[in-house]
């Protein structure tokens, strides 16, 4: 019995001595040769709620294999979505080993330090805090150049400017305009990678139809995370451009002719752009008639003027008639404006005289004259006898 | 005296032929007729000038004054031409009248035309304001010709031309009557020959006037 107890005591002593032997200084020294030689985060800078992959590479620079019990990533601010590494095994002398984790940022931005922790089997552990940056800055979108005013149906060029204020590049930058009732080309624009602190200008042609705003959505990726930012461009049509050609009628004179009105005058381009294909005609309630139903002036440069002449009919009770001046800009967009011309009350063209022969009064007067003359002739002849 | 020319020309010319021919009174008659006629001419000229008013400023006034002067002078010219024709015809008919005498007869004989001229003035005052004349703006001769023709075809002017011509012809019959009596009394012509000598030019003139009206205005309105 005593012998059994003695054997058991020695076995336990042996085991204790063996375990004590594993925590020996040489094992600690071997574990100390294990170093983090590389750490990469993709994307390098996260946005709130972004997911990223963290890859940590260990290398054993010692001459002795080191057994690793487990490896894990610890953080209060990030969710570690991937599992911990358990029962990793040993990392041989001169070898390296990589550990990859998926993490997700929280809702706050800032600089955080998650900890990479390794438990050695024959030594203590390794704790490696590393820096992770979370930035909220999205891409900046603005309009570089746009027309002073939009004109319905007139094509205008605009430039969307996109800047990356972040510390890391973003990929897959695509601009998609929500066109609505407008015509916009191109329908989308793929720009690709946008480096930190750089920008890109993207041209668009917009032909507005109505006043609905245009929303430009910029889609991009930060790592595998899809983001988008919008820019709304207000569109207000119907306002006159400061440079647009503008036709002004002056020296307008109304003449009444047989059965129609004839209006003459000068048309001047008081704008700063050329007015092409200037045409003048009369509008309702007037009815244009030949010879000048429509008067084509042609192109008018700024400050140029030309004479015009239009002919039209109007009812007797019409006192004002609009003269419609239309022209086209260099893109072929047509503009028109009306100028009221006063005809004067009760001064309309006389109705055509009825062609129903002489009036009975005239015939009667002529007949009386004829009879009177014949009577005078007869009387003067009678005196002869 | 004037009334006697109209009511009893035979007695009037019987008295006249005994005196030396004088053109003073006939000239005054023609002057009166020329003055009245020149007013009508002014109105017609103004209307014609309106047709070309688009080409030059003040053209209407120039045309009106020109027409008045032309009418005034042409009245005297007509007197002279009528006298020449009548003198020639009475000579053909073996008449004995001198040119001055024939011109005197011619002048007195044109008294009915004074009435015709007054009536024409009244007619022009009635019809001319009704005429619608569109100013010509083109210098194209074809368009000018068209516009001038359209003036002739204006209903009011057309009617005025016809009535004026008819009135003139009516009074020319009276003129022919006076001329024939005058020539008969003063130039020693037979009544028939005198009637032919006085009536032939009036007849030719009347036929010419009517033919012109039919040709240029397309007939009665």
User: Chain A closest CA to B8's CA: distance in Å?
Assistant: 5
Out of A262, A374, A376, closest to residue B6 by CB: A376
What would the mean pLDDT of B53-78 be, rounded to a whole number?
84
Report chain A (385 residues): mean pLDDT per 10 consecutive residues.
59 48 70 91 94 94 89 92 84 91 93 93 89 93 85 86 94 90 91 94 91 92 94 82 83 81 90 90 87 88 90 84 88 82 67 60 85 87 60
Best probe of the B interface among A260, A311, A380, by most B CBs < 10 A, is A380
Contact B8 A380 (CB under 8 A): yes
pLDDT at A178: 87
Contact B11 A362 (CB under 8 A): no
Euclidean distance between CA atoms A241 and A274, whole angstroms: 13
pLDDT at A8: 62
CA distances from B165 to A317, B131, B214 (A): 39, 18, 11
Please report residues of A whose CB lies closer than 8 A to that of B157.
none
Please report residues of B whose CB lies closer than 8 A to that of A295.
none
Residue A67 and residue A47 in contact, taking contact as beta carbons nearer than 8 Å: no
pLDDT at A80: 92
pLDDT at A14: 46
User: Chain B closest CA to A380's CA: distance in Å?
Assistant: 5
Burial grade of A111 (CB within 10 A; 0-12, 13-18, 19 or more): exposed
What would the mean pLDDT of B102-131 be, rounded to a whole number?
89
Contact A369 B170 (CB under 8 A): yes
User: Chain A closest CA to B163's CA: distance in Å?
Assistant: 8
Contact B137 A355 (CB under 8 A): no
- SS3 call for A303: coil
Out of A257, A262, A355, closest to residue B221 by CB: A355
Euclidean distance between CA atoms B113 and B120, whole angstroms: 10
pLDDT at A17: 44
Q: What is the pLDDT of residues B182-196, one digit of tens each?
A: 888 888 888 888 888
Q: How many CB pairs under 8 A join A and B?
A: 64
pLDDT at A377: 86
Contact B173 A355 (CB under 8 A): no
pLDDT at A13: 46
Out of A262, A358, A373, closest to residue B173 by CB: A373
Contact B181 A358 (CB under 8 A): no
CA distances from A17 to A22, A23, A93 (A): 9, 10, 26
User: Chain B closest CA to A308's CA: distance in Å?
Assistant: 12
Q: What is the pLDDT of residues B121-150, one digit of tens each?
A: 998 888 888 776 766 666 667 767 766 766
Contact A258 B119 (CB under 8 A): no
What would the mean pLDDT of B201-210 be, rounded to a whole number?
86
Euclidean distance between CA atoms A26 and A13, whole angstroms: 21
Chain B positions touching chain A (beta carbons under 8 Å): 6-11, 112, 119, 130, 132, 134-135, 137, 155-156, 159, 162-163, 166-167, 170-171, 173-174, 177-178, 181, 220-221
Out of A349, A377, A383, closest to residue B173 by CB: A377
> Is B56 or A384 the better-scoring residue by pLDDT?
B56
Please report residues of A whose CB lies closer than 8 A to that of B132.
257-259, 349-350
User: Chain B closest CA to A362's CA: distance in Å?
Assistant: 8
Please report residues of B whose CB lies closer than 8 A to that of A349.
132
CA distances from B148 to A97, B7, B132 (A): 112, 43, 12
User: Chain B closest CA to A234's CA: distance in Å?
Assistant: 52
What radius of gyration, in Å, describes the C-alpha atoms of chain B? 20
Contact A262 B134 (CB under 8 A): yes
Q: Could you tell me the two tokens for B29? A: 């008659």
Number of helices (H), then strands (E), belonging to chain B: the values are 9, 0
Euclidean distance between CA atoms A183 and A155, whole angstroms: 9
Q: Compare all CA atoms of chain B with the CA of A354 and give the residue at the minimum distance.
A: B155
User: Chain B closest CA to A350's CA: distance in Å?
Assistant: 8
Please report residues of A whose CB lies closer than 8 A to that of B181.
380
pLDDT at A348: 58
Pairing of strands A45-46, A132-134: parallel
Out of B6, B166, B178, closest to residue A366 by CB: B166
Contact A353 B156 (CB under 8 A): yes
B175 φ, ψ to 5°? -60, -45
> Is A4 or B61 the better-scoring residue by pLDDT?
B61
Euclidean distance between CA atoms B213 and B211, whole angstroms: 5
Residue B17 and residue B96 in contact, taking contact as beta carbons nearer than 8 Å: no
Residue A334 and residue A279 in contact, taking contact as beta carbons nearer than 8 Å: no
User: Chain B closest CA to A318's CA: distance in Å?
Assistant: 21
Out of B112, B137, B163, closest to residue A362 by CB: B163
Mean pLDDT check: name the lowest of A6-15, A209-218, B49-58, B198-207: A6-15
Residue A141 and residue A174 in contact, taking contact as beta carbons nearer than 8 Å: no
Give the predicted TM-score (pTM) of the model.
0.47
Euclidean distance between CA atoms A157 and A298, whole angstroms: 27
A257 touching B (Cβ < 8 Å): yes
Best probe of the A interface among B167, B170, B178, by most A CBs < 10 A, is B170
pLDDT at A345: 61
Please report residues of B whose CB lies closer than 8 A to that of A309.
137
Q: b/e for A209-234, b at 16 or more Cβ within 10 A? A: eeeeebebbbbbebbebeeeeebebe
Contact B137 A258 (CB under 8 A): no
User: What's the complex ipTM?
Assistant: 0.83
Q: Which residues contact A371 (CB under 8 A, 6 or more apart)?
A: none
pLDDT at B145: 73
pLDDT at A101: 94
pLDDT at B139: 66
CA distances from B74 to B66, B124, B202 (A): 12, 18, 17
Q: Residue A237 gets which letter from DSSP?
A: B
pLDDT class for B50, splitting at 50, 70, 90? Answer: confident
Q: Which residue has the tokens 């375990």?
A: A19
pLDDT at B54: 64
Please report residues of A whose CB lies closer than 8 A to that of B155.
352-353, 355
């Amino acid at each position: 019995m005593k012998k059994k107890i003695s054997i058991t005591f020695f076995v336990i002593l042996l085991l204790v001595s063996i375990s004590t032997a594993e925590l020996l200084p040489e094992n600690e020294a071997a574990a100390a040769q294990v170093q983090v030689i590389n750490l990469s985060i993709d994307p390098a800078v996260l946005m709130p709620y972004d997911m990223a992959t963290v890859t940590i590479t260990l290398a054993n620079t010692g001459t002795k294999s080191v057994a690793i019990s487990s490896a894990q990533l610890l953080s209060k601010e990030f969710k570690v979505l991937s599992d911990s590494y358990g029962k990793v095994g040993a990392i041989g002398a001169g070898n390296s080993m990589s550990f990859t984790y998926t993490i997700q940022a929280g809702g706050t931005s800032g600089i955080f330090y998650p900890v990479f922790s390794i438990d050695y089997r024959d030594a203590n552990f390794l704790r490696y805090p590393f820096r992770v940056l979370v930035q909220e800055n999205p891409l900046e979108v603005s309009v570089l150049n746009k027309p002073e005013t939009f004109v319905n149906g007139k094509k205008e060029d605009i430039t969307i400017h996109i800047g990356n204020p972040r510390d890391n590049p973003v990929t897959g930058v695509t601009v998609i305009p929500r066109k609505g009732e407008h015509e916009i080309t191109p329908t989308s624009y793929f720009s690709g990678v946008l480096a930190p602190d750089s920008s890109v200008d993207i041209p668009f042609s917009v032909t507005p139809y109505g006043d609905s705003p245009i929303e430009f959505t910029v889609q991009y990726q930060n790592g595998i995370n899809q983001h988008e930012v919008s820019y709304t461009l207000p569109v207000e049509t119907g306002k006159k451009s400061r440079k647009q050609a503008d036709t002004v009628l002056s020296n307008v004179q109304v003449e009444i002719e047989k059965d129609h009105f004839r209006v003459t005058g000068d048309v001047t381009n008081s704008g700063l752009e050329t007015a092409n294909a200037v045409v003048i005609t009369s509008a309702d309630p007037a009815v244009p008639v030949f010879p000048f139903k429509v008067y084509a002036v042609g192109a008018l440069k700024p400050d140029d003027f030309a004479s015009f002449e239009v002919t039209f009919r109007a009812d007797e009770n019409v006192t004002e008639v609009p003269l419609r001046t239309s022209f086209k800009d260099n893109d072929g967009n047509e503009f028109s404006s009306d100028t009221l011309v006063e005809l004067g009350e009760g001064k309309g063209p006389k109705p055509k005289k009825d062609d129903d022969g002489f009036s009975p009064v005239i015939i009667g007067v002529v007949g009386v004259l004829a009879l009177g003359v014949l009577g005078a002739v007869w009387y003067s002849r009678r005196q002869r006898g | 005296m004037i009334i006697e020319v109209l009511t009893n020309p035979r007695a009037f010319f019987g008295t006249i032929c005994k005196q030396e021919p004088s053109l003073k009174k006939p000239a005054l008659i023609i002057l009166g007729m020329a003055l009245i006629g020149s007013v009508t001419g002014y109105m017609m000229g103004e209307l014609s000038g309106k047709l070309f008013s688009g080409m030059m400023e003040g053209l209407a006034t120039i045309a009106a004054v020109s027409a008045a002067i032309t009418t005034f002078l042409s009245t005297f010219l007509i007197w002279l031409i009528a006298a020449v024709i009548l003198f020639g015809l009475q000579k053909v008919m073996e008449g004995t009248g001198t040119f001055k005498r024939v011109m005197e007869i011619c002048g007195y004989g044109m008294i009915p035309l004074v009435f015709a001229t007054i009536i024409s003035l009244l007619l022009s005052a009635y019809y001319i304001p009704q005429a619608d004349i569109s100013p010509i703006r083109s210098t194209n001769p074809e368009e000018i010709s068209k516009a001038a023709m359209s003036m002739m075809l204006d209903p009011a002017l057309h009617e005025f031309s016809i009535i004026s011509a008819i009135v003139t012809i009516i009074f020319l019959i009276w003129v022919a009557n006076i001329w024939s009596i005058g020539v008969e009394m003063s130039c020693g012509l037979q009544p028939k020959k005198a009637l032919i000598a006085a009536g032939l030019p009036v007849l030719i003139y009347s036929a010419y006037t009517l033919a012109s009206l039919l040709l240029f205005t397309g007939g009665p309105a």
